[in-house]
Each structure stands twice: as C-alpha cells, then as structure tokens.
C-alpha cells in the first residue's frame, strides 16, 4: 500500500517524489492541522440540519460545481478565470455559480465590471477538500487514514 505524502511528511508538501499522492500535497496543510466541524459543533443533527446538509451534498453531486468549488477553495476568482480553468462554457459556469450563490455556498464581490466569487466559509472548503482527498485515495489505491 502507498503512504499518503502528507501523512508521511506530517505537512502539506509531498514526502514522496514519485507516485500518486493525496490532494493535501498540493500546498494544503496536513489533515492533522485542520480542525473538523465536529471540533466546534458537537450537536446531534435535527431534521432541519439534516435537510440543509442534504441540500449541500446535492449541490456537490454535480462534477462541474464540485470542480468550481475546488477552484474557489484555492482562492477568489472571476467567471472568466473559472471558465478557463474548469473547461466548461461561460454560460454553464455562470449558471452553476448562480445556484451556488443562491444556496449561500459562495459569495460575490464586485470590482468594476468584474464579479469575484469566493467560498462562504471554511466548513465548505474542508468538506470539498475531504471529499476530493477521499476520491483521490480510492482512485489511486492509497490506504485510507484519518
């Protein structure tokens, strides 16, 4: 089994120079340094919270939206830059961003004629990164870990 680079190094830079590594190796802090939602929100979920979480996961179930959220986890960006990096049409990117904004997952900031998008909070950033790290482990065959 492969050892995930961020686990081997204990930091966000890869300790392994070859082979697949976890997404945290791409400049992300090691998992052990990221606080989890459970660290600060220890309440058992009621029906309203379960419904809200279900809506978030439904929005994450689209590959283009998930890619956009991953890009925004790297930092604020405008529609043109997101379109280039996402390799989707400008119309599709705009529609996906509108859904994410309407759901309260992304925020906007206007600067002249440009609208910059960013993730609303760290919970969503960690959720996206954990989901993609989990997928990376499954695709690469890396051993699971906490």
- DSSP annotation of 116 reads E
Q: Determine the pLDDT at residue 113.
A: 94
108 within a domain of the structure (yes/no) = yes
54 within a domain of the structure (yes/no) = yes
Distance of CA 123 to the CA centre of its chain: 9
CATH classification of the domain holding 82? 1.10.10.10
Range(s) of the domain holding residue 80: 46-135
- Convert the pLDDT of each residue in 85-144 to its tens digit: 998 999 999 999 999 999 999 999 999 999 999 999 999 999 999 999 999 999 999 988
Total domains in the chain come to 1
36 within a domain of the structure (yes/no) = no
Q: Determine the pLDDT at residue 89.
A: 97
Under the banding of pLDDT at 50, 70 and 90, the label for residue 17 is very low
60 within a domain of the structure (yes/no) = yes
- Convert the pLDDT of each residue in 32-85 to its tens digit: 455 555 566 668 999 999 999 999 999 999 999 999 999 999 999 999 999 999
Number of Cα atoms under 13 Å in the Cβ half of residue 108: 16
Q: Determine the pLDDT at residue 145.
A: 82
35 within a domain of the structure (yes/no) = no
Q: Give the alpha-carbon dihedral of 121, 56, 61, 63, to 10 degrees.
A: -30
């Amino acid at each position: 089994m492969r050892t995930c680079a961020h686990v081997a190094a204990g930091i966000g830079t890869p300790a392994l120079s070859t082979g697949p590594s976890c997404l945290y190796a791409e400049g992300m802090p090691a998992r052990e340094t990221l606080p989890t939602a459970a660290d600060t929100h220890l309440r058992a979920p009621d029906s309203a919270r379960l419904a809200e979480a279900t809506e978030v996961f439904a929005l994450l179930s689209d590959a283009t939206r998930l890619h956009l959220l991953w890009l925004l986890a790297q930092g604020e960006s405008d529609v043109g830059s997101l379109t280039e990096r996402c390799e989707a049409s400008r119309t599709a990117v705009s529609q996906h961003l509108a859904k994410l904004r309407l759901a309260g997952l992304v925020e906007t900031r206007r600067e002249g004629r440009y609208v910059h998008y960013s993730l609303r909070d760290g919970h969503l950033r960690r959720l996206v990164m954990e989901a993609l790290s989990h997928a990376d482990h499954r695709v690469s065959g890396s051993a699971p870990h906490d």
